[in-house]
C-alpha cells in the first residue's frame, strides 16, 4: 500500500510540475502494449462503458489487450485516463463544457475526459475515429482498420464542445445504440418526458369536454376541442397536476412539452383575446401560460412550440429562464439555404424576434420529403449552411426530422453529415460527403458522388422549389425529368458494375431504390404517354405495359430489404404499396374519345400543382387519391373548361371526377353544369348535376359525376364546376379558401 501511494503521489506531482513535453505515444507494438486504461475509483456507468469500448476497439484494431484498472491500482505512468479521475482533476485536463470532452496528452499519459452526461464516451468514439481511423457509417458493424503498430502523434491537446446541446438526426440509424453514442446524437424519447403537440395529452377532450367545455378554445363563437383556453385558471392547475404525476413517473426526463396542438383553432374568449391584443398575437397567451407552468417546476425545463399560429414571438412577455422555445422551419423550401431563400423570410424574422427574448431556442428542421420518403431529395448542399446559420442565431438545439424509423433517400449519408455538423458547423460538407461515399460505397463511391452532384446541379439549374411535401411528379419539369432520371440511372449502373458481387452492391441498390420509385410514381402521371404504364391500342380500354408488374414486385422486395416500413409519413407499407399498384394494374382504364382535344379555361388553375396544365382534362388519364397526381386544381374559383373536339361529334354523356380531400381543403363543387355548342359561341345546357351535401370526413374520396341526356351534336363541350363559397366550420381557416380538383372530362357518344 505504501508503494502504491508513493507512486500515485509521484504521478500527481509530475502532472502538476511537468512541462507536458510533446512526445509520440507508441500505444501498441506487434499486438502488445504496456498501457493500461484507468477509470476513477468510483467510476460512473458512462466511464465504465467508455473504458470497455476503448479496450474493445483497440483490441480489434491492434490485437493488444489493454487492461482496465481502477485508479487506486495504477502502478505505471503509461496509461489512458478515462473520465474524472483524481489525477485528471489535478492536471486540470477537464476543460470541456456541456457534454463535450477533452483529449489531452501529458508525456506518456493520455486523458479522455467528458464534461457531463455521456461526454467521456463521446470522447472515446472521437478518439477511435481520429486516431485509429474507425468509422461507423450505419447501424451495422463499425469499420476498424488493422494496425498492430499503433502510434499516436505528439502533443495531442483537443477540447471539443458541441455547437448544440440538443442534437437529433431522426433517421433509422439512430435506433442503433452505438451509432447514437458514436456520433454524439440524442433521441427525444430519452430527453423528453412529454414531447411535441401536448395540450390534449395533458387535458384530453374525451375526459373533459362534455363536462367542462370552458376548458377548451372559444372559436367561431363556440367552445370547440381544438386547443385549450389558456386564460382559464382550472386549465392551469390541471396542467400542473398532470405534469406532477408524469414527472413522478419519469424523474430523469430533462424536458417537458406544454405545446399547442397541430392546426389552428386557438381561443378567442375575452380574456385570451385581451392578452393576445397586448402581446401582438396568440403566442402571448401561450408564453404567459407556459411561464406559469414553469414557475411550478423551477428545477425542470419546459418546452413549447413557436409554430403555426404561435410562430411570431410575443411583443412583451419573455419566456422564463427554464422555458425553451421550439421553432419550426416548416414553410421553407429546400433548394437554397434557410439564410437566403425567400420562402424562409418570415421564419428568419420570427427566429430573430424569439432570439431577442431568449437564448433558449431549439429548431425543428425538416430534411426529407414526408409525402414520398423514397423520392430523390437533394438537400446535402444546404445542411452545413443551415446549421451554421442556426448557430449564428444563438439556437441551442436542433431536431433534424428525417424519415424516423423507416428508410428514405440517402438516409445513411444524411444522418452521417448531420451528426458531424451538429457538433461542429464548420466541418467541410463536401469533404465529409466524399469521405463517406468512398468508405461506404467502395469503388462505387466516385459514381455516387457524381450522381449526388448531378442531381444537386439539376435542382439548382431548374430554379424550382424543393418541397418537403412534394413528390416526383411536382419535379417532373425539373431535376426529376425523364431525361435526368435516365442520366442518373446510367451513373448508378456504373456504380453497381464497379462493386458487383461485394457487400457494397446492396448499398448501391438502396441508392437506386429512389430512382425506381420515382419512375413508378411518374408513370401514373404520364399514363398513356411515353414513360407511362398504359398503352393505347385503339380499343375502348387502354392496356397495361407488361413490364410494370415486374417493376412493382422488384421495388417492393428492395424496399422491404432496405428497411422501408412506410413510403410516406403515416403512409403505405411496401406491401400495401404493391397492393395499390396491383389494383391499378388490374382495373380497366377506359379510353377517352376526346383524348388530346384542345381545352380553354376561363379561370387559372393552381400553378403549384400544374399536372399537365389545361391538357390534364383530356390527356386520357384519371387521378389518384394524391391531389398532385393528374388533378387540375382551382383555388377559390370555379372551373369553367371548354373542350374543342375538333369537329362535331355525338354527345350522350359526359363523365368526370372531383377529388374530396378535406384535410387539404379540397372539396367537391356544389354544382356541375354541362353545356354544348356547335360554334363555340352559343351554348345550351345539356345537364346540371348537384353532388350530395358535404359532410365531415377524414378519408379521401373521388366523387364520380356522370351527366347523361338525349344524344346531341356538338363540337364544344363546356363544364362549369362551381367552387364552394366558404370552408365548412369543421375545416375553417383564416387564410384558406376551398379548392376544387378535376382530373379528366370524358365525352361519350
Question: What is the rounded CA–CA span in Å between residue 148 and residue 628?
Answer: 58
Inform me whether the pLDDT recorded for 29 exceeds 90: yes
Q: What are the structural domains of the chain?
A: 2-161 (3.30.379.10), 188-427 (3.20.20), 428-499 (no CATH), 527-591 (no CATH), 592-748 (2.60.120.260)
Please report which confidence band the pLDDT of residue 9 belongs to, taking 50, 70 and 90 as the band edges. Answer: very low
Find out whether 736 and 580 touch, Cβ atoms under 8 Å: no
Q: What is the DSSP letter of 30?
A: T
User: What element of type H or E holds 515?
Assistant: helix 503-526
Query: For cell 508503494, what's the residue?
Result: 3
Question: What is the rounded CA–CA span in Å between residue 613 and residue 497?
Answer: 40
The alpha carbon of residue 58 and the mean position of all alpha carbons in its chain are separated, in whole angstroms, by 36
Average pLDDT of the residues in 477-482: 96
Q: For strand 632-635 and strand 79-82, is the pairing parallel, antiparallel, or unpaired? A: unpaired
pLDDT of residue 531: 96
Name residues whose C-beta falls within 8 Å of residue 336's C-beta, 6 or more positions apart in sequence.
Answer: 382
Inform me whether the pLDDT recorded for 734 exceeds 60: yes
Query: For cell 384542345, what's the residue?
Result: 598
pLDDT in tens, 325-336: 999 999 999 999
Helix ranges (H only) for 618-709 are none
Question: What is the rounded CA–CA span in Å between residue 174 and residue 139?
Answer: 8
Average pLDDT of the residues in 190-205: 97
pLDDT of residue 368: 98
Question: What is the rounded CA–CA span in Å between residue 267 and residue 231?
Answer: 9
Question: What is the rounded CA–CA span in Å between residue 265 and residue 226?
Answer: 5
pLDDT in tens, 255-313: 999 999 998 899 999 999 999 999 999 999 999 999 999 999 999 999 999 999 999 99
Angle formed by the axes of helices 574-586 and 548-561, to 10°? 170
pLDDT of residue 11: 46
User: What letters, b where the CB count within 10 A reaches 16 and e where it falls short, cover 111-132?
Assistant: bbbbbebbbbbbbbbbbbbebb
Average pLDDT of the residues in 412-431: 98
Average pLDDT of the residues in 363-384: 98
Amino acid at each position: 500500500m505504501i508503494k502504491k501511494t508513493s507512486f500515485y503521489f509521484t504521478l500527481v506531482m509530475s502532472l502538476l510540475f511537468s512541462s507536458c513535453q510533446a512526445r509520440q505515444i507508441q500505444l501498441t507494438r506487434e499486438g502488445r502494449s504496456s498501457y493500461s486504461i484507468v477509470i476513477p475509483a468510483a467510476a460512473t456507468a458512462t466511464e465504465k462503458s467508455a473504458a470497455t469500448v476503448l479496450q474493445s476497439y483497440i483490441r480489434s484494431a491492434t490485437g493488444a489487450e489493454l487492461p482496465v484498472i481502477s485508479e487506486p491500482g495504477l502502478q505505471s505512468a503509461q496509461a489512458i485516463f478515462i473520465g474524472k479521475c483524481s489525477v485528471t482533476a489535478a492536471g486540470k485536463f477537464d476543460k470541456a463544457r456541456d457534454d463535450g470532452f477533452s483529449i489531452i496528452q501529458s508525456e506518456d499519459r493520455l486523458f479522455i475526459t467528458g464534461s457531463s452526461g455521456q461526454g467521456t464516451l463521446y470522447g472515446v468514439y472521437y478518439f477511435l475515429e481520429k486516431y485509429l481511423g474507425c468509422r461507423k457509417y450505419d447501424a451495422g458493424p463499425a469499420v476498424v482498420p488493422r494496425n498492430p503498430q499503433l502510434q499516436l502523434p505528439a502533443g495531442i491537446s483537443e477540447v471539443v464542445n458541441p455547437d448544440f446541446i440538443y442534437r437529433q438526426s431522426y433517421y433509422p440509424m439512430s435506433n442503433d445504440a452505438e451509432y447514437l453514442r458514436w456520433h454524439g446524437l440524442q433521441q427525444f424519447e430519452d430527453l423528453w418526458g412529454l414531447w411535441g403537440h401536448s395540450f390534449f395529452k395533458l387535458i384530453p377532450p374525451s375526459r373533459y369536454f362534455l363536462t367542462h367545455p370552458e376548458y377548451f378554445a372559444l372559436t367561431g363563437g363556440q367552445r370547440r376541442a381544438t386547443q385549450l383556453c389558456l386564460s382559464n385558471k382550472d386549465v392551469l392547475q390541471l396542467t400542473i397536476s398532470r405534469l406532477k404525476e408524469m414527472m413522478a413517473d419519469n424523474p430523469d426526463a430533462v424536458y417537458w412539452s406544454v405545446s399547442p396542438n397541430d392546426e389552428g383553432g386557438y381561443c378567442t374568449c375575452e380574456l385570451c383575446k385581451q392578452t393576445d391584443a397586448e402581446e401582438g398575437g396568440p403566442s402571448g397567451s401561450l408564453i404567459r401560460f407556459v411561464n406559469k407552468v414553469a414557475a411550478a417546476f423551477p428545477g425542470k425545463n419546459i418546452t413549447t412550440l413557436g409554430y403555426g399560429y404561435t410562430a411570431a414571438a410575443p411583443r412583451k412577455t419573455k419566456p422564463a429562464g427554464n422555458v425553451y422555445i421550439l421553432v419550426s422551419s416548416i414553410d421553407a423550401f429546400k433548394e437554397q439555404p434557410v439564410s437566403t431563400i425567400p420562402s424562409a423570410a418570415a421564419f428568419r424574422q420570427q427566429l430573430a424576434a424569439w432570439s431577442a427574448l431568449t437564448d433558449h431556442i431549439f429548431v425543428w428542421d425538416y430534411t426529407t420529403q414526408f409525402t414520398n420518403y423514397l423520392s430523390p431529395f437533394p438537400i446535402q448542399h444546404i445542411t452545413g449552411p443551415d446549421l451554421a446559420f442556426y448557430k449564428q442565431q444563438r439556437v441551442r438545439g436542433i431536431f433534424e426530422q428525417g424519415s424516423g424509423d423507416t428508410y428514405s433517400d440517402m438516409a445513411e449519408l444524411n444522418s452521417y453529415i448531420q451528426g458531424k455538423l451538429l457538433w461542429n458547423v464548420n466541418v467541410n460538407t463536401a469533404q465529409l460527403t466524399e469521405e463517406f461515399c468512398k468508405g461506404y460505397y467502395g469503388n462505387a463511391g466516385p459514381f455516387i458522388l457524381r450522381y449526388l452532384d448531378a442531381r444537386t446541379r439539376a435542382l439548382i439549374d431548374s430554379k424550382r422549389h424543393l418541397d418537403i411535401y412534394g413528390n416526383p411528379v411536382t419535379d417532373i419539369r425539373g431535376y426529376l425529368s425523364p431525361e435526368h432520371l435516365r442520366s442518373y440511372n446510367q451513373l448508378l449502373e456504373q456504380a453497381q458494375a464497379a462493386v458487383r458481387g461485394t457487400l457494397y452492391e446492396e448499398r448501391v441498390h438502396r441508392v437506386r431504390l429512389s430512382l425506381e420509385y420515382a419512375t413508378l410514381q411518374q408513370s401514373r402521371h404520364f399514363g398513356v404517354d411515353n414513360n407511362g404504364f398504359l398503352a393505347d391500342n385503339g380499343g375502348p380500354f387502354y392496356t397495361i405495359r407488361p413490364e410494370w408488374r415486374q417493376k412493382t414486385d422488384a421495388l417492393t422486395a428492395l424496399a422491404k430489404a432496405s428497411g422501408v416500413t412506410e413510403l410516406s409519413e403515416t403512409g403505405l407499407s411496401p406491401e400495401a404499396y404493391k397492393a395499390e399498384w396491383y389494383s391499378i394494374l388490374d382495373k380497366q382504364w377506359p379510353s377517352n374519345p376526346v383524348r388530346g382535344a384542345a381545352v380553354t379555361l376561363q379561370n387559372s388553375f393552381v400553378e403549384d400543382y400544374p399536372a399537365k396544365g389545361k391538357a390534364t382534362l383530356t390527356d386520357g388519364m384519371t387521378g389518384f387519391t394524391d391531389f398532385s397526381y393528374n388533378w387540375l386544381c382551382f383555388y377559390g374559383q370555379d372551373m369553367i373548361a371548354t373542350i374543342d373536339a375538333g369537329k362535331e361529334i355525338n354527345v350522350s354523356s359526359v363523365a368526370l371526377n372531383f377529388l374530396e380531400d378535406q384535410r387539404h381543403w379540397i372539396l367537391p363543387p356544389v354544382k356541375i353544369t354541362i353545356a354544348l355548342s356547335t360554334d363555340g359561341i352559343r351554348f345550351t345546357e345539356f345537364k346540371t348535376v348537384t353532388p350530395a351535401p358535404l359532410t365531415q370526413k377524414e378519408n379521401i374520396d373521388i366523387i364520380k359525376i356522370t351527366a347523361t341526356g338525349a344524344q346531341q351534336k356538338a363540337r364544344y363541350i363546356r363544364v362549369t364546376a362551381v367552387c364552394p363559397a366558404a370552408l365548412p366550420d369543421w375545416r375553417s381557416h383564416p387564410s384558406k379558401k376551398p379548392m376544387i380538383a378535376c382530373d379528366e372530362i370524358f365525352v361519350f357518344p
